[in-house]
Amino acid sequence: MTLPSVEFLLIAGRAVFLVFSFIVASISFTAWRRATQRQTAQLLSQTQLVLQRLAELEARVDGTRSAIADLRERLDRPATPAASPAPSPGYRIAIRLARGGASREELMSGCGLTLAEAELVRRLHGPQAPELRQVS
């Protein structure tokens, strides 16, 4: 048997090295492609989450806009003061008496007021004590 020549061994060694390099390159490329696919899938899921949160924020902003529009409408509407009912004749008389200096008992007996009502009418419409008056 004859031994192969050195040239043949070098060519065979190069061929084996090329095949080995090709296998390593294909494994590396496959791993790189899978990693890229995983990253893309992760990026898409994060993008979906961001879009979902953005839609929720848009809904909140729309709700806030409508609430602000309602408040603006309320503020722009002319305020109609509620017509306060005219005081009853008993209160009118009590107010006149209180301005004249009548006591609580006189207001209660003459106008049919309760103690609290008579005291309130006296405080609101009665003459002020000189020491209680303050100059503004």
| CA angle, residues 112, 113, 116, in degrees to nearest 5 | 160
* Phi, psi at 127, each rounded to 5°: -65, 140
Question: What is the number of alpha carbons within 13 Å of residue 136 lying toward its C-beta?
Answer: 0
Residue in 87, 97, 89 with CA at minimum distance from that of residue 125: 97
**Angstrom distance (rounded) from CA 121 to CA 91:** 8
Q: What is the pLDDT of residue 90?
A: 76
CA dihedral 15, 17, 23, 29 (to 10 degrees): -120
The whole-model pTM stands at 0.41
- The segments of the chain whose pLDDT lies below 50 read 133, 135-136
**Angstrom distance (rounded) from CA 120 to CA 23:** 103
Q: What is the pLDDT of residue 86?
A: 64
CB atoms within 10 A of CB 110: 14
| Contact between 98 and 107 (Cβ < 8 Å) | yes
Q: Map out the domains of the chain as residue ranges.
A: 1-75, 89-125
CB atoms within 10 A of CB 119: 15
